[in-house]
Amino acid sequence: MTKQNVLVSDCTSRIGMVGLGGWKASLLPPAIPETLAALGGHISMPQKKLLKRLETGGGARVTAWVDSMRASSPTRIKSTASLPETEERSSWILRHPSALNNLEQIISASRGKQIVMFLDYDGTLSPIVQDPDRAFMSREMREVVRDVARYFPTAIVSGRCRDKVYSFVRLAELYYAGSHGMDIKAPSKRSKCHKMIQGNKKVIFQAGTEFLPMIDEVYKVLVNKTSSIPGAKVENNKFCLSVHFRCVEEKRWAALAEQVKVVLSAYPQLKLTQGRKVLEIRPTIKWDKGKALEFLLESWGYANSNDILPVYIGDDQTDEDAFKVLRARGQGFGILVSRVAKKTNATYSLQEPSEVKEFLRQLVVEWKRLSLQG
């Protein structure tokens, strides 16, 4: 059983280790094989079938990894190309309509409620680029997010290490949940909307700190093992790791998968998930972006509130955990950022970060107009 270190500092700035009642019970590691549990929990049916084959071992197992790597790389459609209005996409868009085209509906759902905003970073606030160290956010996007945080409690929820995502966003008035929500920190600067938050304003949370030395060790091993594969890049996200294959030639994906598989086989306490041309390695603890969303709502004093409208915007498989939480609560909306039809628990969709910016901008404008009307 893994131990959770939950560090919460209250308004008197006391920092201590606490058990969060209900939280503790849900933090046990899954009793099923880690890799399959992780992948099975995050991917759509065809990929699930592919991953069944991971259990068959040997060469077939790596082939299945590579098939899965291909299947989870939806950016194969060039971002500048106009969208092919296929039947599949048309029916998908009916099920997940554009959040921009439905702004009025979203605004009307927020009547009498406090909007709370959760934003993923890569592919949501910044466009996907080849080099993860250069995934900068535009100045205009930063201004829009700053404005959002003026009126709505706002958190960035990212797979990145918290410090790294902060270095991109650079807004001190936001909450940051890094490493897929395993590392949460409150704003260093208070914004106007802080008055609305009733609960713990100075929350600091870390899940799985006991894995930090292991993650560091695996990082070094993976850097070494993948150094002969051109384009492979291992990113240390503190509580988790990313093995990027965006710049690796497809014919070398099998070699990369094999290296990762060999390394991971020595660490059964770590599991694998997949993102956009990235293999993500993290502890087998039951903590994800959905749990981070619930944790933040609780620490803001909104755990059982019917007077909030949570909105979560994200583009990745890992964001599905948060979309699922909103569906289960029957509260708020998940918005998937995607140009291609994908199985999702989100309610609405947006095509790319520029649409996210426009949506957020219009949301603030409309919300202000409505609140002035009283």
Ligand X SMILES: O=P(O)(O)OC[C@H]1O[C@H](O[C@H]2O[C@H](CO)[C@@H](O)[C@H](O)[C@H]2O)[C@H](O)[C@@H](O)[C@@H]1O
The tokens for 325 are: 């939480």
Cβ nearer to ligand X, comparing 6 with 240: 240
Q: How far is the CB of 131 from ligand X (least distance, A)?
A: 6
Restricting to residues 295-324, name those near ligand X by CB under 6 A. Answer: 316, 318
**How many residues contact ligand X, by CB under 6 A?**
24
Q: Find the binder of ligand X among 6, 107, 115, 132 (CB under 6 A).
A: 132
209: which residues sit within 8 A by CB, 6+ positions away? 5, 239
Query: Does position 283 bind ligand X by CB under 6 A?
Result: no
Cβ atoms of 5 and 210 within 8 Å: the answer is yes
What mask, x for binding ligand X by CB under 6 A, covers residues 147 to 166? -----------xxx------
15-17/114-119 β-pairing:
unpaired
* Alpha-helical segments (H) within 122-161: 139-151
* Region binding ligand X by CB under 6 A among candidate stretches 107-115, 130-138, 208-216, 343-351: 130-138
Query: Does position 122 bind ligand X by CB under 6 A?
Result: yes
What mask, x for binding ligand X by CB under 6 A, covers residues 30 to 59? ------------------------------
Cβ nearer to ligand X, comparing 35 with 237: 237
Report the alpha-carbon distance of residue 152 to residue 251 in Å, rounded.
Answer: 46
Q: Find the binder of ligand X among 41, 187, 208, 275 (CB under 6 A).
A: 275
Cβ atoms of 315 and 121 within 8 Å: the answer is no
What mask, x for binding ligand X by CB under 6 A, covers residues 170 to 209? ----------------------------------------
Mapped onto helix, strand or coil, the DSSP state of residue 282 is strand
Report the alpha-carbon distance of residue 42 to residue 273 in Å, rounded.
Answer: 7
113: which residues sit within 8 A by CB, 6+ positions away? 307, 308, 309
Query: Does position 223 bind ligand X by CB under 6 A?
Result: no
Q: Which residue is nearest to ligand X (CB)?
A: 159
183-185/233-236 β-pairing:
unpaired
Query: Does position 288 bind ligand X by CB under 6 A?
Result: no
270-275/278-283 β-pairing:
antiparallel
* Region binding ligand X by CB under 6 A among candidate stretches 53-61, 214-222, 240-248, 339-347: 240-248
Q: How many CA atoms lie within 13 A of 273 on its CB side?
A: 25
Chain residues in the site for ligand X (CB under 6 A): 120-123, 128-130, 132, 135, 158-160, 235, 237, 242, 244, 246, 275-278, 280, 316, 318
